[in-house]
Amino acid sequence: MIQQPAGYLLVLTTVLPVIGVMLSLALGGRRAERVALVLMPAGLAVAVAILACVWTTRRPLLYVVGAWAAPLGVSLRADGISASMLLTTAVVMCAVAHFARADFRTPVAGPREARAPLAFWTLLLGVWGALNMVFVGNDLFNLYVALELLTFGAVPLVSLDGRAETLAAALRYLLFALLGSVLYLLGSALLYGGYGTLDVVLLSGQIRADTATEVAAALMTVGLLAKTALFPLHLWLPPAHAGAPTAASAVLSALVVKASFFLIVRLWFSVMPALLIQPAAQVLAALGSAAILFGSVLAIRQARLKLLIAYSTVAQIGYLFLMFPLVAGAASAPGAGMAAWTGGMLQAISHACAKAAMFMAAGLIALAVGHDRIADLAGVGRALPMTVFAFGLSGLTLMGVPPSGGFAAKWLLLTASIDRGQWWWAAVVVAGGMFTGAYLFRVLVRTVARPGEPLALSAPVAWHREAVVLALALLSVFLGLVPFGSFGVLQIGRLDLPPGLLR
């Protein structure tokens, strides 16, 4: 693969957040917010440029660091799914940053600086940079480093308020994440010992089905599943996402869990596609199905809104793994395999927008009424109509109701499962949508109910914060209106496609 002149854009995706972290620490808490709010729109522009380059050239964007080609050197690579996830991350990060200004505003005057704003904005920039490193990394060890940076940026965000329960949730998250990292690193070591390289593209042409490679694949997969919080390794997610500050919850649920899922996709479909036989793919999809059903049932039973949304994340993650048996071994039905691939990645993107909006809507509701108890939300729909409307729009995406992005994603998965003769995954998609409707209906019915006495708001809600939530919710719906041909960008650069198809 030939390095392109625009490859320097890949460097900017990681350099900009690093510059932001360094400037925030050097300039202090009074300017950390300004640094983030200046750099994040710049990062959004870079992400748009990368997606445009991949779209127009119809090939991955490559940058060889220091002009040392693999296996001696390290390269950065952005294919269709990388470019799409970079843009999704930049959009969500910009939205969350503007939403978080009211909660983590840095003081412009006074003798003392607040610690929380400096910590939040610095960690947010660090998480943004680590996510970008995951999406453009082309070396399994460098991806390990990116995962570790992501963990050490995300875990402190959970416990930012210092409460005992959030500290316990952060510690549990850290233990699961470290276990996942150890397993991933052990698998990477086995691969390096067997092949002498960890470059994704080089490994894809050398992988063979031997015992060491299969053990490495199993170790790395389990480690990444722990970080993704796929059932039954989900125990850390609900308390961590529900207890974190609202802006942090939005980032964790929308983006952070997607990073390890992205690496599972990279591992199986780019590094070792020949090893993803149907039994292994069926196991991953079975775990995803269990997550959909188990997470949805637990979401229905929750008394607190943020916990309901957290268990909803457990369920929605499950849809991402339904693509594995539908894409694996699809040489006889390439159309169905490509549809499943598009459906899985579109689910990741639409869920990111919808879930970020949903967590921020829940945060505004809790701010306005002083709690997030679902049973006591009567009248909120009248007091905060824009927020509740945005919550409902996000719910449409999670349910898979047309014309939302979630509908397009789930429809592609459903049709691919029927085309591949694996109808049971279609049944799971339909059942999951019904369960999702049940727990969302439970919330919306309470918010539009007439309260027994006039609802007294404990704090005002700024209109611009509601507008940010509504914009993300609308974006999650708008994805379903995008012409299907536009999602062909998700197929660009796939290493598992048979010869003759789009690469």
Ranges of each domain in the chain: 1-138, 140-275, 286-490
State residue 114's pLDDT score: 65
CA 491 to chain centre: 19
**Alpha carbon distance 257, 134 (integer Å):** 12
The candidate with the shortest Cα–Cα distance to 40, out of 52, 51, 30, 48, is 48
Q: Is the peptide bond before 238 cis (omega within 30 degrees of 0)?
A: no
The candidate with the shortest Cα–Cα distance to 131, out of 209, 68, 66, 40, is 40
- The residues, any chain, with a CB within 8 Å of residue 361's CB and separated by 6 or more, are 387, 388, 390, 391, 394, 469, 473
DSSP structure class, residue 373 = B
- The residues, any chain, with a CB within 8 Å of residue 191's CB and separated by 6 or more, are 140, 198, 203, 213, 216
DSSP 3-state of 139: strand
Enter the tokens of residue 295: 């997470």
CA 79 to chain centre: 17
State residue 334's pLDDT score: 72
Say if CB 203 and CB 197 are below 8 A apart: yes
To which residue do tokens 């998250």 refer? 173
Q: List, in sequence order, every residue forming a beta bridge with 486; answer none if it has no partner.
A: none
- Strands 75-78, 61-64: pairing is antiparallel
**Alpha carbon distance 59, 57 (integer Å):** 5
pTM: 0.94
Q: Ramachandran region of residue 461, left (φ > 0), alpha (ψ -120 to 50) or beta?
A: beta
**Alpha carbon distance 287, 291 (integer Å):** 6
Q: What is the pLDDT along the chain (503 residues), one digit of tens a residue?
A: 455 677 889 999 999 999 999 998 888 767 888 899 999 999 999 999 999 999 998 899 998 887 777 677 788 999 999 999 999 999 999 999 999 998 887 766 555 666 778 889 999 999 999 999 999 998 999 999 999 999 999 999 998 888 888 899 999 999 999 999 999 999 999 999 988 888 888 888 888 888 889 999 999 999 999 999 999 999 999 999 999 999 999 999 999 999 999 999 999 998 888 787 778 889 999 999 999 999 999 999 999 999 999 999 999 999 999 999 998 876 666 778 899 999 999 999 999 999 999 999 999 999 988 888 998 888 888 888 999 999 999 999 999 999 899 999 999 999 999 988 899 999 999 999 999 999 999 999 998 888 777 777 777 888 899 999 999 999 999 999 988 888 889 998 887 776 555 54
Say if CB 327 and CB 341 are below 8 A apart: yes
State residue 498's pLDDT score: 62
DSSP structure class, residue 2 = P
| Amino acid at site 415 | T
How many Å from the N-terminal Cα to the C-terminal Cα in the chain?
12
Enter the tokens of residue 266: 């990279």
- What's phi and psi for 386, nearest 5 deg? -65, -40
